[in-house]
Chains A and B, each alone.
Chain A
Amino acid sequence: MAPVFQYIVRRILLAIPVLFGILLVTFVLARLIPGDPCKAMLGEKATQEVCERFTREHGLDQPIPVQLGIYIRNVLKGDFGESIRFSRPVTIILIERLPMTLELGTIAIIVATLIGIPLGIISAVNNNTVVDVITMVGANAGVSMPVYWLGLMLAYVFALLFKGTPLALPPSGRLTAGLTAVPFYEVYNILLEPESIKFHLYEFIANLYILNSLVTANWKVLGDVLRHLILPAAALSTIPMSIIARMTRSSMLDVMSQDYIRTAKAKGMPKRTVVFKHALRNALLPIATIIGLQLGTIFAGAVLTETIFGLAGVGRMLFEAITARDYPIVQGFTLVIAIGYVGINLLVDISYVFIDPRIKLD
């Protein structure tokens, strides 16, 4: 077996105990909810009879290890229980809400990377100059800002102060009232069986408004969706951007002080080639790690950002579920987000092989 392949397989195997641990933590947290689990899961109005049936069906009268087994089996089947508030499966709600958050999170992390890395490079190249100091003060302020505060202030400035100017931006929602993102399967007359897996999959893709409007060539909707995403993405990307900029700066400074860079400079190589070809490539590894870790900030930030900007994504749902004490949703969403986080950081780990071929494959 090729060593690269071996490395990848080993990484995946190493993630399994962590995933099991995550399952265990969410299971324990669910059992620790004070009071009757039935009342917690079905709401206070559940009657004695309903409760008894619920307890039997969910194996809550079984010993704890058996309950854990049932829980894991359900999760593996993609069954996270039923929402108290909506009386619908948590999984379906998740599928409906995820596209919004994916769209927002992807844009935020792209913006953070595309601005953060250049800022860090500029800062490192101009080490200890005014540019460096200003960038780093900015980055320090950026990591210290509460996302929700930044979001609210942006909304105030761009939706109220700039009202009527070309700079005005919508402070809430995904689309302007009156516009609809017609799903691609309706545009192209694809017939689907309602409630089938294929239907949910197509619906999921159609709910990625950017993708859907690209596929259906609906530029008006695309523009509107993007305009609605500017403020939340700006708020959400500030902290990751600052952290990426700081990491890029220190990683670049580290690499730039090495001998081979001095050699390259001494050879009379153009500065641009030294910085981008020689230094940046070797500085990328810690930057990739930190970008992966920032996805955690993005997921948590989505709870706050979506709440402020009235976006119907996973984060806002989670917030509403907390307020309404809709435990199944909180548990299910937390689990899925944690698994996603582990998965993405696994991908980052694997990407090391491609970023830096010298990496020790063990």
Chain B
Amino acid sequence: MRTLLQPNSPNNNTELSEEETMALESSLKDYRANSLWRLMLRRVFRQRSAIIGMVILGLLVLVALLAPVITSYGPEKVLIGMEPVRKRAAPCIHLLGCPEDEPQHLMGIDGNVRDEFSRVVYGTRVSLFIGFTTTGFAIVVGVVLGAISGYAGGWVDNVIMRLLDVVMAFPSLLLAIAIVNVLGRGLQNALLAIAIVNIPSYARVMRASVLSIKEQNFVEASRALGAGHSRILLTRILPNSLSPLIVQGTLGIAGAILSAAALSFLGLGAQPPTPEWGTMLGTERNQVFSAPHLVFFPGFAIMATVLAFNLLGDGLRDALDPRLASKPA
């Protein structure tokens, strides 16, 4: 049997036989199986917390996508005149002994006679959107600043890092509050504020990676081959600094969702009737003694979502950070 290592076959046929194609494919598969990303994924899947986080997150994404299928009411639908329900009525679940002739409301009715369950379910969309957009924005700006800072060095580095130090000197939620106070309340401004507050952490991570990678031989080799700064940054440094960014970003999403909910709770973020969990909790907070379900469910949803991202982030860190490789969590 000929192997691939003997390219010049005796019959000089340029076409590969079926056998040869299969052999080639399987060797390619072996090669792919050991690629960096594969290895990382395999390590990630060995982390219990990452798997739990991914499962919860998967469920949340499903809930967000299938919201209209899961719920029987729109998130802003006022039920007055449609059903004989009271304002802030407790949950009515048929399985738990609620009379069959009453309409089922898994999480009860809110202060504006809307179905709380529908609002919590649709809130998943809002919160996931908040988490991904703010973090995405913060990462892009942070990566650019960090890359410039680390790559350029000198006074540029100094100026950028001192500016970021100042942003980090504020307790983050407080600075976000101060920024929204100036920009004006509303979801968009709250998201912008949270993104600004989070930029330094990504810039620092990126700068640290750039500093350690830019002196390595393969970067030196690229430079010797005549690659320009932007090419080195984009094709050499950025791909190699992705894993700490992914870890930081995942944990950052958790923080962003929590901060956005807090701003909304204070009335600075999403405005009613948007089904945002923090806003829902904020508007009903004085009713906690008479209608605890209106506080419990949105808060629990926030915790579950934030927990999912925290677990995933922790798992990713344990899997991707070589310094922690010996310590399974």
Q: List 6 A-B contacts (CB under 8 A).
A: A18-B162, A144-B254, A149-B302, A152-B299, A304-B266, A322-B266
Instruction: Contact check, B268 vs A146: say whether CB atoms are below 8 A apart.
Output: no
**What distance in Å separates the Cβ of B161 from its nearest Cβ neighbour in chain A?**
11
The yes or no answer to B173 lying at the interface (CB within 8 A) is yes
- Cβ contact within 8 Å between A327 and B174: no
Which single residue of chain A is at the shortest CB-CB distance from B167?
Answer: A25
Give 6 new A-B contacts, CB below 8 A, not counting A32-B182, A330-B178.
Answer: A24-B166, A140-B314, A152-B281, A156-B289, A257-B326, A300-B174
Contact at B303–A304, with CB atoms within 8 Å?
no
Among the 9-residue stretches B13-21, B73-81, B237-245, B257-265, the one with 4 or more Cβ atoms under 8 Å from chain A is B257-265
Q: Which residues 222-241 of B sit at the A interface, judged by CB distance below 8 A?
A: none
Chain A residues, CB < 8 A from B167: 25
Contacts A146-B302, A148-B285 hold; do A342 and B310 have CB atoms under 8 A apart? no
Please tell me the size bucket of the interface on A. Answer: 35 or more
Within 8 A of B (CB), among A142-161: 143-150, 152-153, 155-156, 159-160
- The segment from A84-92, A283-291, A331-339 found at the interface with B is A331-339
Does A268 sit at the interface, judged by CB under 8 A?
no
A3 an interface residue at 8 Å Cβ cutoff? no
A318 to B299, CA, bound (A): 23
A274 beta carbon closer than 8 Å to chain B = no
In the assembled complex, A93 has its CB within 8 A of some CB on chain B: no
Contacts of A297 in B (CB 8 A): 171
CB distance A296 to B171 under 8 Å? yes
A136 at the interface (CB under 8 A from B): yes
| Residues of B267-306 whose CB lies within 8 A of A | 267-268, 278, 281, 285, 288-289, 292, 295-296, 298-300, 302-304, 306
Q: Does A33 contact B (CB under 8 A)?
A: yes
Interface on chain B toward A: helix, strand, loop, or mixed SS? helix
Closest to A307 in B: B266
Contact between B311 and A26 (Cβ–Cβ < 8 Å)? no
Let me know if A21 is at the binding interface, CB within 8 A: yes
The residue that B163 contacts in the complex, of A21, A32, A33, A299, with Cβ under 8 A, is: A21
In the complex, which residue of chain B has the Cβ closest to the Cβ of A28? B182
- Is B172's beta carbon under 8 Å from chain A? yes
